[in-house]
């Protein structure tokens, strides 16, 4: 449908398209500096942070995703990315209010989070392609847990 995705839930249709994907920052630390061997870092911990920004004037919804990979609290690498979505009929689709409040259906939010996470995974493939960190497999992220964490945080930020 010409680069536009449609998501329908309870007879409500939201038409949107991804208009920007950008790496904001990337940090990579040498695991040897922490006294680790490659085998040690292959079983690290992943933390995911999410922030949102809405721009009613441009009818966009932006997700800022921060993925950190750690071993025993030592940051091995992290990437922060932007994923900007243009939404047709923005104010109605998001039930946007002038106070800045909006509502996004859980299924739609999970779809947008999954797109952002997958885009970021792709960036990590490129960013780590020349390094041993390319052997690290970032685990699946439970979108239900992530979404519940976001809902529990009034600022729209989750860690």
Q: What CATH number does residue 98 fall under?
A: 3.10.420.10
- Per-position pLDDT tens, the chain of length 159: 344 555 554 446 889 999 999 999 999 999 999 999 999 999 999 999 999 999 999 999 999 999 999 999 999 999 999 999 999 999 888 888 888 788 888 999 999 999 999 999 999 999 999 899 999 988 889 999 999 998 887 444 444
Per-residue b or e along 23-55, where b marks 16 or more CB atoms closer than 10 Å to that residue's CB: eeeeeeeebeeeebeeeebeebeeebebbbebe
Residue 156 lies in a domain: no
Q: What pLDDT, on a 0 to 100 scale, did the predictor assign at position 6?
A: 54
- Is residue 36 in some structural domain? yes
Q: Give the structural domain span for 126.
A: 13-151
Q: Is residue 50 part of a domain?
A: yes
Quick check: is 73 in a domain? yes
Taking 3-state DSSP, the helix, strand and coil percentages for the chain, each rounded to the nearest 5, stand at 30, 40, 35
In a domain, 7, yes or no: no
Q: Is residue 159 part of a domain?
A: no
The per-residue pLDDT for 159 is: 44
Domain count, the chain: 1
């Amino acid at each position: 449908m010409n680069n536009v995705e449609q998501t329908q839930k309870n007879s409500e249709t939201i038409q949107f398209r991804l208009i920007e994907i950008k790496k904001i920052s990337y940090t990579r630390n040498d695991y040897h500096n922490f006294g680790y061997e490659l085998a040690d870092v292959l079983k690290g911990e992943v933390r995911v942070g999410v922030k949102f920004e809405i721009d009613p004037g441009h009818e966009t919804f932006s997700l800022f995703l921060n993925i950190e990979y750690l071993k025993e609290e030592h940051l091995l690498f992290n990437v922060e990315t932007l994923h900007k979505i243009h939404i047709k009929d923005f104010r109605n689709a998001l039930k946007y209010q002038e106070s800045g409040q909006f509502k996004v259906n859980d299924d739609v939010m999970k779809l947008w989070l999954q797109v952002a996470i997958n885009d970021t995974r792709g960036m990590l493939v490129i960013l780590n392609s020349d390094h041993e960190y390319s052997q690290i497999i970032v685990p699946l992220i439970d979108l239900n847990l992530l979404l519940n964490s976001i809902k529990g945080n009034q600022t729209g930020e989750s860690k």
